[in-house]
Structure 1
């Protein structure tokens, strides 16, 4: 990443910090670049862990998460530049440039004054952005700024929360971090001694209890989120199917079944036989969805078990054969 781009990213950050909310067009005019360049810059900042979000409301535009602005205020431009740069290698890792920049990041990190180093670490501790799915329309949230402030200040909050079945519950939470996953905000919080995940859009009411709390030592937001996501995926895919896969079939597993499929491949895949095919236990949803998922693979996948699923796939293939006869 060139120095020009790094200093432009810093300018985007400082503009948003000082003006609150700006549209892509306003940013482009101010920086004398194209709107498309602004979109790319916003992506790079978000991948670097800067909590910028798109506000789809009247007038639209981009803004920094409430608590983040106040934290950046008071840094000199040079200090802010060092802080902004400390996060950028994360964006590079997404593009496969991780190792090249990891060394540069370490050098830079070592050169940061102590106060800034701890601040950069604080951002990573409290905000985690999973997947740069930025321009897919981000939720409009009433309580996000209040939640973010509580995360920054380590303040205990009381919330009224709507569960998946729309029933409401009252909870007292120690908010530990925010995660933005594909346009949806989640809060990781400690409740009754254990860590749990809450969807921010389902928080209907929030009050500050006036108490602080101590963050649990060694809590790693990114690791917590990975574990939670994995468990969530396992609940989504309660069944497994034993299948044979061609080399192309194996390559298609992460495309059609995502990270949960890729992990199954790693953990249960056998060495390819002389024809290049291998056996794998793939996670599948129950009923009709499983059939649809497996048919995606066409002739690159052969279902062995369970017998019932194997027969359903065979029947679907026979019907398709009759159509094209």
Structure 2
């Protein structure tokens, strides 16, 4: 939206002093021609923006120009600056909105605190893209148009038509009553009802969405945290659960426990290794979890799991035979 972009342009000039058209275009994710048109629009509206010629030239505001934004104290602004989750914003299609909001937060600080807060925020990194082993966190790919349509239906309380690709199924259209949006570990979910039954949809599996012009059948108020916990409990206790007996290196215990549904029994062997009886959502979940642990863990039972892991290992070994 142009009005938001014009505000962001002014805030960028206030924060950095002077910027080239190319730099403004990169920051605002538009063309340099659009930036030049926006500069003209600001000048026509009375904003004192001027051009400086030369190699190090660009656009700047006259000294002392102030925008009318509500101020925040130091701690409030710092909390917002470091808490703005890029991953969550991208999942819900709000990446550009987050960038614009962070500019406004920084600009709203009292002048004497602005540099202090910005410097403090640079000392804090929340949820980097990779861990110390350069492993990337799972990334959700949700088209902005799809995310925007889902958001509109959720906030307006309208029914939603989605084309959803469930696991191992062909995509198909379905009409749902949206309740809320949740992001967990970088993955987005739509909580909804369908024919009166609770449903949870992965946003990355929604291929298309259409807000309908009819009210959703949902309660006026919702405790989204409670709804999420209830659905999580049902997910962990439902399905074709399997129980696995594992013997493993205790140093890798946390990895297994974090991915398993529950630890049903545990004891130590004489050599210091652990024996755990754990449950998984289904067979595929069990195979995946044990494979991640490599030689640090051995599935003792059931036999079909041992056979599945053995077949995988044999196939990998055959691939590397010379």
TM-score (norm 1): 0.48
Which structure is larger by alpha-carbon Rg, 1 or 2?
2
**Greater share of helix residues, 1 or 2?**
1
